[in-house]
Structure formats: structure tokens, C-alpha cells
Amino acid sequence: MLVLEKNNITEEIEQLVRKHGKSRSSLLPILQDVQRKHKYIPDFAQQEIARLLDIHPVEVYSVISFYAFLNTKPKGRNIVRLCKTITCDLAGKDNVAKMIERELGIKFGETTKDNRITLEYVNCLGMCDQGPALLVNERVYSKVTPEKAIKILNEIK
Ligand code: FES
């Protein structure tokens, strides 16, 4: 990381600490702001948050790992999430997953090289009677077959 970028991150975290206050309870709002701006929380930002809030970096990391909406790595422009919970599993989630992985050439947990799509598994999306369920960004798709999954993927820019 360039020195300039590091300075920018330090300045940004200093501003967030001023905005939210220098206490443990500011940790989550600060992380949310960093996530919103960068789409993930860079390593150096985690170190700076720990330093400026005077807490251990492990504490910062454990909060990030606890919340699914906080990430330590950059993600793709689109997040495709397939339900892995039992009802969708029984409804054929594995076949959908295999087809998606083959089509994109990546595994779940990975991002395409062009940064277009990140694949993730999620727990129940509340569509159990219409599984397998797939969430593409904010939109839920139900009764997803391998063929339907390919169509959905092709519509993602
Ligand atoms: S089990 Fe998949 S949506 Fe509920």
C-alpha cells in the first residue's frame, strides 16, 4: 500500500473517531462507515482503528468476523448468495451450486477475476417452500434450477 493511501486511511479513521467518539461502542459504527466507503475493511484500517480506539487489533478483527456484512477482502460488484440451509439443500441446491461454479469458473467464497461476481453461501433466506433460493444483491430468486441460475447469471452486469 502506498504511503499516501496509508495517510488517507489514517486521516479517515481519525475523522470517524471524532464523529463517533473514542470508545469501544464506536467500533461498530466506525467499521460500518469504512465498509460503506471501501466495500471492505482494509488491514491497515483495522490496525488504525485499534490504535486510535486504544483496543487490541484482535478485538477489531473478531467484530468484523462476527458480522456477515463486514468484510476483510474486497468483493465483486455483485454478490450472488445461494441458500445452504436444509430445505434448499434437499430441493437441489448442490446441482445449482455446481452449475454456477462451472459457469463462472470459481468456487463459492471466491470472486471472478473481472470483479463482476462474488459467490457466497448464506443461511435460510425465508423462501423455504420455494427453494432452492438465490439472492443476487438485493433480489431473491426462488425455485432456482441449474438452467435458471445460468440465465440469472447472464443478466448480471
Ligand atoms: S432453507 Fe433455503 S430459503 Fe429457507
Show me where the domains of the chain are located: 3-66, 78-156
Query: For the chain, what percent of residues have pLDDT higher than 90?
Result: 83
**pLDDT score of 74:** 85
**What residues does ligand 1 touch, defined as CB less than 6 Å away?**
83, 85, 87-88, 124-128, 131, 133
The identity of residue 130, as a single letter, is: Q
Residue 1 has pLDDT above 60, yes or no: no
Can you give the pLDDT at residue 88? 98
For the domain made up of 78-156, give the CATH fold.
Glutaredoxin (3.40.30)
147 marked as part of a ligand binding site: no
Give the pTM.
0.70
Ligand 1 centroid distance, CA of 128 (Å): 4
Q: pLDDT at residue 147 above 60?
A: yes
Does residue 128 have a known ligand-binding role?
yes
Confidence check: pLDDT of 44 > 80: yes
Residue 15 has pLDDT above 90, yes or no: yes
